[in-house]
A and B are shown apart, each in its own frame.
Chain A
Amino acid sequence: MQNFVQLWVYLSSTPLFGLTATIAVYVLAHAFYTARQQAPWANPVLWTVLVIAGVLLVTGIPYPTYFSGAQFIHFLLGPAVVALAWPLWQRRVELRARWAPLLLAALIGGAAAAGSAWVLGLAFGLPTDVVLSMTTKSVTAPVAMGVAEKIGGIPALAAVFAVLTGIIGALSGKYLFDLLRISTTQPGWMARGFALGTTSHGLGAARALQVNADAGAYAGLAMGLQVVLASLLIPLVFRLL
C-alpha cells in the first residue's frame, strides 16, 4: 500500500498523468456517448470534464499539475483552427453563391449571442470582469481568451465560459431547433449547423458533424466566420462604448 501511494504521488506529478487522463477518460466517455446513440445529454466533453475535475478535486492534485500534461492536447487547438480552412475550401463554390446571407446571419447571430450575454450578465448583477469574459463565449476557446483579454475580461474564465456555451449548444440545440420548426431537409440542416457553429463554435461543430455532413460543414464555416468577426468587432465595440 505504501508503495502504491508513493507510485501514485510520483505518477500524478508528471505530465504523463494529465495527458493520459485527458485522452483515456475522453475515449471512455466517447464510447459511452456512442453506446447511447449519441444522445445530446451523453456529451463526451461534458462527462470528461466532470470526471477529471472530480478526480482532481478529490485527490487534491492542483490544476497546473494536470495542465502540464494536458497542454499537449490544448496546444492542438491552434493547428485545428488553421485546419478549419479545409472544410471551407471544399465548399468554396457553394459559399461564393451564398456568401451574403451567410455573412449577414453570422453578424446578426454573433451580435445576438454576445449582446444578450452582456445585457443579461449586467441585469443579473454579475461583476463587470465576469460579464466581459462572457461576451466572447461564442468564439472558440483559444480565440475567446485573446479577445477577452483585450477588452478587460479574465482569459481563463472566458475559456471556461466558451467551453460551457459549446456544451450547452451541443446539448440543447436539437430540441430548440425542433421547437422552432427548423426542418431536417438540406436547407434546414444548413441553418441548424450554421447556428450551432455561430453560437457554440467547435463543440457545436463537432456535434453537427456527427449528426449530418451538411450541418457539420456549415457549422465549421460559422465557427470560422465567428472567429474573424468577433476578434475584429468585439474589441472595436468595447472601444467605442
Chain B
Amino acid sequence: MNALRGFAWLLVLQSAGELLAHALRLPFPGPVVGLVLLLGALYFEAVRTPVAACADFLLAHLSLLFVPVGVGVMTHLGLIGEYGGRMLAVIVLSTWIGLAVTALALRALMKQQAQQK
C-alpha cells in the first residue's frame, strides 16, 4: 500500500508541477517543478515513507522507461540512411567530450575545495 500511496504523491506533485509551470509560464517542464516540490514535501514523514517505497522501485527500473522512445528510432530510417554515420559520430564524440570534461572538472574543483579548507 505504501508504494501505491507514494505513486499517488508522485502523480499529485507532477500535476501540481504542470499547473504551476503553465500558470506561471515557468521555463521548466512540469515534472521538474514536481521534483522541486517533492524536495520540500520530503521533510514530512507522511510523504517520505510512501514516496521512498515507490521511488526506489521506479528508479531501479529507470532504463526500461526509455525503451518506447528508443524504439522510435525506426521511424527515422530515411534520415539514418542519409546521415546515419555522421550523426552517430557526432553523438559518440560529443558524449565522450561531455563525460571527460565533467569528470575532470569535478575532480579538479573538489581538490580545490579540499585545499581551501
Using a CB–CB cutoff of 8 Å, the interface residues on chain A facing chain B are: 18, 22-23, 26, 44-45, 48-49, 52-53, 56-57, 63, 66-67, 70-71, 73-74, 76-89, 98, 100-102, 104-106, 108-110, 112-113, 116-117, 120-121, 124-127, 130, 134, 137-138, 141-143, 146, 156-157, 159-170, 172-173, 176-177, 180, 182, 187, 190-192, 194-196, 198-200, 202-203, 205-207, 209, 220, 222, 224, 227-228, 231-232, 235-236
Contacts and interface: CB of A to CB of B under 8 A. Distances in A.
Contacts of A199: 95, 98-99, 102
B93 A120 contact: yes
A228 B31 contact: no
A209 B104 CA distance: 20
18 contacts: A73-B65, A74-B68, A79-B11, A79-B58, A80-B59, A86-B38, A89-B48, A109-B98, A116-B97, A124-B90, A126-B83, A142-B29, A163-B66, A198-B98, A209-B59, A228-B28, A228-B32, A231-B28
Nearest to B66: A163
- Secondary structure type dominating chain A contacts: helix
Given A56-B74, A84-B35, A187-B110, A203 B30 contact: no
B25 interface: no
B74 A57 contact: yes
B8 to A, nearest CB: 10
Interface string B91-114: 111111111111111110110110
A109 B10 CA distance: 29
Closest 7 CB pairs of A and B: A109-B102, A113-B98, A70-B68, A101-B109, A199-B98, A85-B38, A81-B31
A205 B54 CA distance: 18
Q: Classify chain B: how many residues form its interface, as a range.
A: 35 or more
A161 to B, nearest CB: 6
B17 A82 contact: yes
Interface of B: 7, 10-11, 13-14, 17, 27-32, 34-36, 38-39, 42, 48, 51-52, 54-56, 58-60, 62-76, 79, 83, 86-107, 109-110, 112-113
A176 to B, nearest CB: 6
B59 A87 contact: yes
Given A105-B109, A232-B28, 9 more contacts: A56-B74, A70-B67, A126-B90, A137-B95, A146-B29, A160-B76, A180-B103, A199-B99, A235-B27
Contacts of B51: 83, 86
A101 B69 contact: no
Given A63-B72, A113-B98, A231-B29, A182 B103 contact: yes
Contact of B69 (A44, A163, A205): A163
A84 B59 contact: yes
A117 B67 contact: no
